[in-house]
Amino acid sequence: MRINEEDCQNLERALSLEWLETNGRGGFASGTVGGANTRRYHALLLTARKPPSERFVFVNHLEEWIDIEGQSYPLSTNLYPNAIHPEGYKQCTGFTTDPWPTWAYDCHGTVVQREIFCVRNRDLVIIRWTRAGKTKKAITLRVRPMVSGRDYHATHHMNDRLAATATTVTDGLVSWRPYVGLSSVQAFQNGRYRHDPTWFRTVQFPAEQQRGLDFEEDWWSPGEFTYQLDRGIAATLVLTTTSTDSVDVAALTEGERKRRGGLHATAPSTDPLAGKLWCAVEAYLSARDSRQTVIAGYPWFTDWGRDTFISLPGLCLVTGRWEIAWQTIESFTAHISQGMIPNRFPDIGKEPEYNTIDASLWFVHAIERYFVYSKDETRVRAVAWPAVKHIIDGYRQGTRYCIHMDADGLIAGGVPGAQLTWMDAKVGDWVVTPRHGKPVEIQALWARTLEIGERLATTFGEPAYAVRCREDRTRAVASFRTKFWNETGGCLYDVIDGPEGNDVSIRPNQIYAIALCDDLVIKEQAEQILRVVEDHLLTPVGLRTLSPQDTRYRPRYEGTVVERDGAYHQGTVWPFLLGPFVTAWTKVNGKSSAKNRQARAFFNGLESHLHDACLGQVSEIFDAEAPHRARGCFAQAWSVAEPLRALIEDLGITTGIQPATSNKP
């Protein structure tokens, strides 16, 4: 991902392009190609106190200047009310994400390069500056860190509680602890430090202003680092919240370069999009306690049950990360309650939230896919199979939110004030899309779950349980075929047996009736469903969540919180839905070279999008109408995972990853 000089020096364009570095512990660094922070979440040192949760921003930004023979040139850029200062973007001649975010600046003929990268499994970020060219001029680099120490969802403002003294100043190390109860910021550097605390007031975040949120912040700068920038010697600044006596910058840099090179070497080479998505995967894999989990999206999500298990096949199974997949399954198995896995682990605190009708069913689906790929019979039998039975039995008997198997074999659920499906927007007491009753995708998931239950019960020698799963599934499929076909619309109802009867809304959820099962609809009905979805919902970057012909349709995701949440599933495009759409399309139309090329074209818009918004990543959502502006999280797990899964599983993109032939993943 390379950005040329023209785009780097076009401030509007440069601020719209974001970069992301993650550390595998829930922490991350992010910002814009233009250098200015446009979100409260942009920061250099942002760590998770209890990975991947309790995230805090410690170092927001760096103010950087190059001094050459009495003339100063800024490298950094900040946004203030009615002012841009400094204007480092005007010196920027190029940017690349390979192997990590790297800028080139031309300071009146003197070329300076800046690099920023996180180190995997460390709460640590490295910034390096080097000079290029043959000039013999003396070059001084001045760097001021901007420090806060706040929850990453909040903003920081000038106050008298901040401790403005440096707690440690030695050769090569400076540390500050701005607030009691938080970790110290340790700064390892090979320059000189001068303590000179000051405040930078009313920094502006236009992305937050657009979201109708607090968009101004005050930064505290403790002092200034000075480096003599000599050829062949990098000026370095290492920022961390981990107490340590020293940091080997050269070793960390070389280790990270080799690790990333290995990741690129394993990426599919026959399809550019698959290769780029493959390299994007690692950003979403994170530690939780002693195991692994999946970050739903950046910059503001942690791990969510639904997102995790929709994403797991694309993130971990098609890419060969079977051990990470298993650890993620184990992480959630430990929290099963009343036949449900958690939908969300709160940012603060340990009590998970169980407010979803589908996450547990996606969990079962992911277990079966893991079993297919890994052939790991021992662990699945001992740990996952009891969890599968717990979920199936919990849904049969009934669990939270009136979720239960009805007399017709279908799954019903919903109580006033609750939003249980993936269309879960809620503002105060307003549930935008309640979908109470029997949602279409839940029935597809339930039929899939019972199929898995029968298969695993047979494998593990429990024939009576297998028979009951088969009988329940036969009843559910028969009821689905009888009740869900909307003859007038030529597609499936979105919800049946709801408080207001059957819902004729044209939504993408019906795609799962084809993608997950082979027998819920006949071929002619599947063909009609696809035509309706293509006519009403398909866009170059994903599927709309509601037909434009519906009076509730919202073409743009913008405005206040209420306006945005009101549009979240009322037209807004979700790119992850291209995964099940292509799965369904290939099931109906078959697979051949010509058909695969036709199906591959559905992803062309996402391939272009990788060069916009967060470079190399796929955004959470897009506006429903052209130009389909990217919205929401700038990097979303299932937006990467589901297209990657479909490219590999459905379109046959070769990876070199083969299902295991033994019991060990």
pLDDT of residue 661: 57
Q: Does residue 256 sit in the same domain as residue 353? A: no
Q: Does residue 145 sit in the same domain as residue 184? A: yes
Q: How many CB atoms lie within 10 A of CB 2?
A: 12
Residue 72, domain extent: 2-260
Is 242 inside a domain boundary? yes
| pLDDT tens-place string over residues 494-540 | 999 999 999 999 999 999 999 999 999 999 999 999 999 999 999 99
Q: Does residue 453 sit in the same domain as residue 422? A: yes
> Could you tell me the pLDDT band of residue 664, with boundaries at 50, 70 and 90?
very low
Is 382 inside a domain boundary? yes
Half-sphere exposure of 606 (CA within 13 A, CB side): 35
Mean of per-residue pLDDT scores for the chain:
95
Q: Where are the beta strands (DSSP E) in 499-554?
A: 501-503, 538-539, 542-544
> Could you tell me the pLDDT band of residue 665, with boundaries at 50, 70 and 90?
very low
Q: Mean pLDDT, to the nearest integer, of 545-563?
A: 96
Q: What is the CATH number of the domain that holds 596?
A: 1.50.10.10
Say if residue 663's pLDDT is above 70.
Answer: no
Is 660 inside a domain boundary? no
- Cβ neighbours for 563, distance < 8 A, ≥ 6 positions apart: none
Q: Does residue 11 sit in the same domain as residue 128? A: yes
| pLDDT tens-place string over residues 572-618 | 999 999 999 999 999 999 999 999 999 999 999 999 999 999 999 99
Instruction: Please count the structural domains in the chain.
Output: 2
| pLDDT tens-place string over residues 262-303 | 999 999 999 999 999 999 999 999 999 899 999 999 999 999
| pLDDT tens-place string over residues 637-660 | 999 999 999 999 999 999 988 766
Phi, psi angles (nearest 5°) of residue 185: -90, 120
Q: What share of the chain is helix, strand, coil (3-state, %, to 5)?
A: 35, 30, 35
| pLDDT tens-place string over residues 186-241 | 999 999 999 999 999 999 999 999 999 999 999 999 999 999 998 789 999 999 99
Closest by Cα among 323, 327, 245, 258 to 288: 327
Q: What is the CATH number of the domain that holds 86?
A: 2.70.98
Q: Does residue 17 sit in the same domain as residue 33? A: yes
> Could you tell me the pLDDT band of residue 349, with boundaries at 50, 70 and 90?
low
Q: What share of the chain has pLDDT > 70, as a percent?
A: 98
| pLDDT tens-place string over residues 19-70 | 999 999 999 999 999 999 999 999 999 999 999 999 999 999 999 999 999 9
pLDDT of residue 68: 95
Q: Does residue 213 sit in the same domain as residue 351? A: no
Q: Does residue 255 sit in the same domain as residue 346? A: no
Q: Does residue 249 sit in the same domain as residue 171? A: yes
Q: Does residue 432 sit in the same domain as residue 365? A: yes
Q: Does residue 309 sit in the same domain as residue 228? A: no
Say if residue 393's pLDDT is above 80.
Answer: yes
User: Distance between CA atoms of 8 and 91, rounded to whole angstroms?
Assistant: 9
Q: Which of 231, 260, 289 is the last residue of a domain?
A: 260
Q: Mean pLDDT, to the nearest integer, of 443-451?
A: 98
Q: Does residue 390 sit in the same domain as residue 522? A: yes
> Could you tell me the pLDDT band of residue 662, with boundaries at 50, 70 and 90?
very low
User: Distance between CA atoms of 44 and 658, rounded to whole angstroms?
Assistant: 38
Q: Does residue 581 sit in the same domain as residue 444? A: yes
Q: Which of 245, 260, 275 is the last residue of a domain?
A: 260
> Could you tell me the pLDDT band of residue 132, with boundaries at 50, 70 and 90?
confident
pLDDT of residue 417: 95
Half-sphere exposure of 317 (CA within 13 A, CB side): 29
Q: Mean pLDDT, to the nearest integer, of 616-644?
A: 98
Q: Mean pLDDT, to the nearest integer, of 402-416?
A: 98
pTM: 0.96
Q: Mean pLDDT, to the nearest integer, of 82-98?
A: 97
Q: Where are the beta strands (DSSP E) in 462-520?
A: 485-486, 491-492, 495-498, 501-503
Closest by Cα among 306, 280, 308 to 292: 308
